[in-house]
Structure 1
């Protein structure tokens, strides 16, 4: 039996050591990011050709120029270049688009570690074998700023991380006498680069460029007019001793759109490319570069690459400043810290671990675009093909207008107003540089792509100006806004008669209202009156007999009413039906409701709209969350005197349309829009009408939400939303206080938010139909 003394000593030692037991590490926002959420283009899983999230899982930095990501496919409507259900990887590219369809673009500088005989074509998933490799799905890992995977065919582990303008890849090879890093310089997600150049600079580096024109497909298979050149400077950790170039003899007469490039004939020519050993410099139509070396088991070989859209000199300088050495782990940690800082703009407590993962991944997806388009020295390529120097703003690109004006840009006006200001400057100066007198609706790498409809840039400019985000050429922005609604608007005729006449008429009416509001703020009374009148043109396509919106032909005659009525997909609409598009009169809800038969009738119709949608929220003829035209609809109840229904509907959507899984986005991410909706809705705020500064209050998912404000644009430091007694059942607001005072309105304005403060909501499991009616 132990003595009392010995027992005491043992007990003391136990207590001493237990006091030094490390506490569980507190998770940071970046730790919750799961880049695999939405990373599929599967039509089968979506049940529609639109697919699901279409995000990429690779490494990036907030609003960075570079996204180092695995690519599993080059063709079709696979804009991110990756889809989770694929089981082979064809390489790792330096540039990716997030959540888009229409064939996509980028996916440039495709790097692949290989062993054995050199192959010059990627081959196809479940088809012709090339240099692509089967990969171990269980080995695949992704986090904020990092990606890794095991390539089965070559027994190579690939790791990726990124800086803003550059990326580094680390490959762990097996023992092999013929290991290799090969780079497909012609590769492009939606087609091909049309001309490439590569030069061996020294025994560790190459440089060159890849020219991508509409003739090579890309954005909209060329219809998006993407025309850009990616300049690169790449360094290898292992000396270039046995290297060369491969070059495919593409006949001058061959077309090079997607359907041509992905044909068996074209790919056969690529597979039989001439291999030019020892070639130090080459320009051609279908080039690749390779360097071979012997490796020991577990030997790591790295390639780091800087890019620029201006020059090789810019690419080299970007790389030299951002990744001066070979410390992969340090670059990874820097990327993670950047993400942690960016994601800390919003702090949430409460909710489940999965809900936090979905939230911070959604926030992560909103911070990819609009990405920087200038080098570290501030130089950027203008729309005139000349190099310009940014002085008062960062040149940005990828403005998915028709999508992002609804939630993404309003979110950024709160947490990143400087990004909104940059984007407006980028669009306004681009119009000047391209000698265009209107604003582009879907800008990509300086291209006026003409994609989608409406005048979304006008909405973003108006919303920003009215929120005191005004660090741009206001007179020029105003004139471009006026020119845009004159060029693309309902005009004096009062409707749009094109094939998507309902969608155009309603979208144009809204942006004509935006111009009226901008004119009002600028003291332009005549313009205010003119465009306010035009903003009511939506009424001209409401058919009182059918009691809904109906398209007209160019002569103003009603188009034939289909058997399915307002449920008919694409009847006067863009990617929607009249039932879905018809709710888009955000600037005159009272007028819309009067046309539709009054509040009670509209509430009943809205209830049917939601109740008939499938529980999984996938593509359907009713409330169709996968597509943007309905994203404001859940919040209309606030304007109808039934805010408890906004609370119910938004919580239903957050629960059913977003998940911590690859299939976790029910529709295309659309460059941040789908995720921004979730971020705002779960925070308890969402606009109906960007430009009127009103945010609808809804049921927060989390117990507390802290929004960090930008001191340049805000008076306060933070705005806090606290939900007491919050749970999965307690979704209804019972009462509220704002900064300690009773608050009975179901909305806040922007000034209230940026002044800082605290909104406290007390939640319950039954609606309080008396709250929020002031």
Structure 2
């Protein structure tokens, strides 16, 4: 009997251990996409540009290693770099355009105090350090590395508003922790303040405005202040600040800040010891101490975009003691709970890692921007109190309206409400009364094109996600498309005329959807008609879209035809951008010569695409304009080709490696594409509740629904007999009934239930035809 009981207990333990091993959090690999290498990408846009450091789902804080300040390196880190500047408490994920944040840069060091970081070419000149690449580890909520120069092990973890660092020092009489308060990705903070609160605590702030570069090297209009409240578990006895004499008339954009002249000023900074309070234009802080071998010293800090008091309260609420491992485990649990919103079965370990890391990357932004007490900095740099929503920031509109936000409407609809409320209140507080196109900490940056927030709004409204002032939202939508649109001509001109015309036409159609549902028939008619503006730039003589001049004449047709990069387009060519008529695919197909001709053209597009899907002139998964294109086969009576190509893209363009993303992560869009496509569904047209059905990578995918917004508990997709060869759908059932459509509507998803797909290695050319 005892043996039987022992065996039973061991079996239970074994099952529990297996269940823990299969938890989603264990499949997250933050190194996927953590490279900005232009060389590897073969194009100036680089690779994923993600960061490998510690954060929590949609958290305000990201504690991550930084290897570079300059260049098109939005995350501040690139895997192939051989030295680390320090560990910052704020980061952007997957962006180009110089990037921003990277504030409150902490570095443990020994020996002589260096006040500037040094260079990638010669890290010995400054406080940066080479590191042991084999020692570098990253998982959800944790990062660690061994710094060769100082023989220090650095570990970090995070809570939503705070970060915690644990450093293991060697024996050294001249050890320290130093903090570069001026440092900022893409530039510099322009004014800093620090105060010694007591023997273990400092507080202060860093002002980051557009004169100091940052987002778009200042063009992005970023203007924010980072507040901190930091504590050390070793008392401050020998401490001070360094202050660089930066002349008031010096430019502080990225090129200037990274110049030898500027860096020399930082290297020659004045060191001021044991001062209690200081304000300056380029400050750092240090605390010196003696350490024994393997002595562990910890530091923790609350971060706020509101106030020093807010940073203090954030820290006191979220990290009450010095238990680093407990903070780490709590971060893991937050991630595990968040990632369980989609459960998968089947697939290889690598495929599961790619999937859950992709889902992880969709849960970085739009991040919270408020403190634990609900206060946030809004438009006009004034402080507000949250009322009925969480203030969120970093809306990469042109990217995320396509898949990232439609994904959230299924698994996290409250976040969509939060985002719309955040953009609405910002417009009110800023007295602009229209939506920001690309928002970063209240900036109307104007980055990219179109009116993407209008698409997000239309998609939310049509899906009955309406926890915001709908009348005001409609007003903002109208104001947005009237301010930025195709105008009386019915088309846009200039260097990106085709991209603008097509995007604006789609956005106008989105307003028509809102108007129709809100019983505004005149508006619905007007904006639906303007949604047809795409036809105004289709030239029958070349049988494709083409940019027009101000007088209505066509721009000269280039030698490379529709393959010419930048000919009337944004980050694309006509062959790629021309497919963007999601609001009227039937009309687009008619213009292009009918279903058969379009199908042949799509086949040509994909067959000419390189197998690694790196940046190219055909199907360019590395950038957003084509993300819906594989699903167009569903609209030309060839769903089996959608199934074929989405499986190929999932296999070849998404890998469990640093170079695992073929283009910028773009704040969740690149990964959201994979999450949806690998699950077997994808929206061509946000604002329309239709999701195209394709071949899932996994045997079973279960979406956990939010009962506040959905009548069902779960929506499950089962792919019977699925395998790397059996990629074609033979037949389907929805809730046990025969289902012959190649799409499913959002209401059927949120009702809950099961979509069964029966797979084979041969296409069924009859299933799913429209």
Query: TM bucket by the smaller chain?
Result: over 0.9
**Secondary structure of 1:658's partner?**
coil
1:229 is the counterpart of 2:225: yes
Residue 498 of structure 1: how far off its partner (Å) = 2.1
The counterpart of 1:280, out of the listed 276, 280, 286, is: 276
**Secondary structure of 2:18's partner?**
coil
The range that moved more, 549-558 or 114-123, is 549-558
| Cα-to-partner distance string for 1:734-768 (whole Å, 9 max, x where unaligned) | 00000000000000000000000000000000000
The counterpart of 2:324, out of the listed 328, 336, 339, is: 328
**Secondary structure of 2:239's partner?**
strand
Partner of 2:76: 81
1:392 is the counterpart of 2:388: yes
Partner of 1:122: 117
The range that moved more, 485-494 or 167-176, is 485-494
Residue 127 of structure 1: how far off its partner (Å) = 2.7
The counterpart of 1:382, out of the listed 361, 365, 378, is: 378
CA distance in 1, matches of 2:305, 2:698: 42
Partner of 1:58: 53
Residue 492 of structure 1: how far off its partner (Å) = 2.6
1:432 is the counterpart of 2:428: yes
Partner of 1:605: 601
CA distance in 1, matches of 2:385, 2:634: 46
Partner of 2:65: 70
| Cα-to-partner distance string for 1:133-190 (whole Å, 9 max, x where unaligned) | 0000000000000000000110100000000000000000001111100000000000
Partner of 2:553: 557
Q: In 2 relative to 1, CA 151–605 (structure 1 residues): closer, same or farther, beyond 3 Å?
A: same
| Cα-to-partner distance string for 1:654-711 (whole Å, 9 max, x where unaligned) | 0010000000000000000000000000000000000010000000000000000000
**Secondary structure of 1:588's partner?**
helix
1:744 is the counterpart of 2:737: no
Q: 8 Å contact 1:373–1:395 — kept in the other structure?
A: yes
1:678 is the counterpart of 2:678: no
Residue 21 of structure 1: how far off its partner (Å) = 7.7
1:177 is the counterpart of 2:173: yes
Partner of 2:18: 25
Q: 8 Å contact 1:33–1:357 — kept in the other structure?
A: yes
The counterpart of 2:417, out of the listed 418, 421, 433, is: 421
Partner of 2:713: 717
1:633 is the counterpart of 2:626: no
1:240-319 pair list within 5 angstroms:
240-319=236-315
Q: In 2 relative to 1, CA 104–590 (structure 1 residues): closer, same or farther, beyond 3 Å?
A: same
The counterpart of 1:449, out of the listed 445, 452, 459, is: 445
| Cα-to-partner distance string for 1:411-450 (whole Å, 9 max, x where unaligned) | 0000000000000000011001111021111000000001
CA distance in 2, matches of 1:386, 1:274: 34
CA distance in 2, matches of 1:97, 1:346: 25
| Cα-to-partner distance string for 1:268-299 (whole Å, 9 max, x where unaligned) | 11011001011111100000000010011111
1:362-377 pair list within 5 angstroms:
362-377=358-373
Partner of 1:587: 583
Partner of 1:209: 205
Partner of 2:517: 521
The range that moved more, 483-492 or 158-167, is 483-492
| Cα-to-partner distance string for 1:370-391 (whole Å, 9 max, x where unaligned) | 0001011110111121111111
1:561-580 pair list within 5 angstroms:
561-580=557-576
Q: 8 Å contact 1:214–1:224 — kept in the other structure?
A: yes
CA distance in 1, matches of 2:278, 2:732: 69
CA distance in 1, matches of 2:559, 2:349: 47
1:532-543 pair list within 5 angstroms:
532-543=528-539
Q: 8 Å contact 1:571–1:578 — kept in the other structure?
A: yes
**Secondary structure of 2:602's partner?**
helix
CA distance in 2, matches of 1:302, 1:34: 25
CA distance in 2, matches of 1:584, 1:275: 57
**Secondary structure of 1:384's partner?**
helix
Q: 8 Å contact 1:491–1:534 — kept in the other structure?
A: no
Residue 640 of structure 1: how far off its partner (Å) = 1.1
Partner of 1:102: 97
The counterpart of 1:732, out of the listed 717, 728, 732, is: 728
1:196 is the counterpart of 2:192: yes
Residue 491 of structure 1: how far off its partner (Å) = 2.3
**Secondary structure of 2:503's partner?**
helix
Structure 2 unmatched runs, 5+? none
Give the CA RMSD over aligned residues: 1.4
Q: 8 Å contact 1:497–1:556 — kept in the other structure?
A: no
Q: In 2 relative to 1, CA 183–767 (structure 1 residues): closer, same or farther, beyond 3 Å?
A: same
Q: In 2 relative to 1, CA 652–231 (structure 1 residues): closer, same or farther, beyond 3 Å?
A: same
* Paired residues, number: 766
Q: In 2 relative to 1, CA 507–204 (structure 1 residues): closer, same or farther, beyond 3 Å?
A: same
Q: In 2 relative to 1, CA 19–250 (structure 1 residues): closer, same or farther, beyond 3 Å?
A: closer
Structure 1 unmatched runs, 5+? 1-8
CA distance in 2, matches of 1:397, 1:13: 54
CA distance in 2, matches of 1:553, 1:401: 27
CA distance in 1, matches of 2:72, 2:616: 20
CA distance in 2, matches of 1:438, 1:315: 31
Q: In 2 relative to 1, CA 593–272 (structure 1 residues): closer, same or farther, beyond 3 Å?
A: same
Q: In 2 relative to 1, CA 18–165 (structure 1 residues): closer, same or farther, beyond 3 Å?
A: closer
Q: In 2 relative to 1, CA 17–394 (structure 1 residues): closer, same or farther, beyond 3 Å?
A: closer
Partner of 1:144: 140
The counterpart of 1:42, out of the listed 29, 37, 41, is: 37
Partner of 2:540: 544
Partner of 1:5: none
Q: In 2 relative to 1, CA 551–25 (structure 1 residues): closer, same or farther, beyond 3 Å?
A: same
Q: In 2 relative to 1, CA 595–274 (structure 1 residues): closer, same or farther, beyond 3 Å?
A: same
The range that moved more, 402-411 or 121-130, is 121-130
**Secondary structure of 2:65's partner?**
strand
CA distance in 2, matches of 1:588, 1:492: 21
| Cα-to-partner distance string for 1:533-560 (whole Å, 9 max, x where unaligned) | 1110100000000111000112211111
Partner of 1:3: none
Residue 204 of structure 1: how far off its partner (Å) = 0.2
Q: 8 Å contact 1:440–1:457 — kept in the other structure?
A: yes
**Structure 1 stretches of at least 4 aligned residues deviating more than 2 Å after TM superposition:** 11-26
CA distance in 1, matches of 2:640, 2:13: 48
CA distance in 1, matches of 2:58, 2:141: 12
Residue 351 of structure 1: how far off its partner (Å) = 0.1
Q: 8 Å contact 1:492–1:534 — kept in the other structure?
A: no
Residue 15 of structure 1: how far off its partner (Å) = 7.4
Residue 252 of structure 1: how far off its partner (Å) = 1.2
| Cα-to-partner distance string for 1:231-283 (whole Å, 9 max, x where unaligned) | 11000000000000000001111100000000000001101100101111110
Q: TM-score, normalised by structure 1?
A: 0.98
Q: In 2 relative to 1, CA 19–221 (structure 1 residues): closer, same or farther, beyond 3 Å?
A: closer
